[in-house]
Amino acid sequence: MEEKLFMLQDHFSTHLAKHRSFMIEMEKQRFIDPCVTGDTKSIEEFADAQVDKTELIQEEILRFSDRCRENIRECISKVLSELRTRIVSEIALDEERKKNNPIQSSNTITMKKKATSNTFEKLGFPEGMTYGHRSGLRKECSRFLRFAYLVDFLSLEALANIYTGSVRDMIERLEQLDVDCNMDEVMNADFAEQ
């Protein structure tokens, strides 16, 4: 159970907290500009202002996305680096033991080392990884997938909150305008074109 709780694991907890802070900051964005300045705009002016606002927010969300991706890449990189260091030291330790005690190493059962995989080389892992080493790497990769699902969930939740917050703010502004509106003045106003 502890393995699945990312908040209890060094790198994952740090980067998950950082991602969550990015998402909380991103959630403050709004797609709708409710014109709270008191300026009255025509429908065309409002539509043009909304197009500009939407483009601005889309760019801002893309900037958050880039920051979040870099944060997650950094997390994965650190975890893989620690795993790589551990595997290299274990292989070196095994080689040292074989050199220092050749009789005992010939009597013990050793795990067969699988041929080098191009994927492992691309990730920077050494030749001579045992089944246990490869199993540890697979375990970390499956953990990365679960972490990615969690990060994706948090990101989608933040995007949904932007949309619902935008609609909520617009409804509140319309209610405010409705309360502030003097219907007698509106009904008696002269709307003749000049």
What are the tens digits of pLDDT across the range 14-72?
889 999 999 999 998 888 765 555 567 778 887 888 888 889 999 999 999 999 999 99
In a domain, 191, yes or no: no
User: Other C-beta atoms within 10 Å of 105: how many?
Assistant: 14
What pLDDT, on the 0 to 100 scale, is given for residue 102?
Answer: 65
How far apart CA 70 and CA 19 sit, in angstroms, is: 10
What pLDDT, on the 0 to 100 scale, is given for residue 36?
Answer: 54
DSSP string covering 119-150, please? HHHHTTPPS---HHHHHHHHHHHHHHHHHHHH
In a domain, 16, yes or no: yes
In a domain, 55, yes or no: yes
Structural domain for 24, as ranges: 8-180
The pTM for the full model equals: 0.70
Q: How many domains does the chain have?
A: 1
Residue 155 dihedral angles phi and psi, to the nearest 5°:
-65, -45
In a domain, 160, yes or no: yes
Residue length, the chain?
194
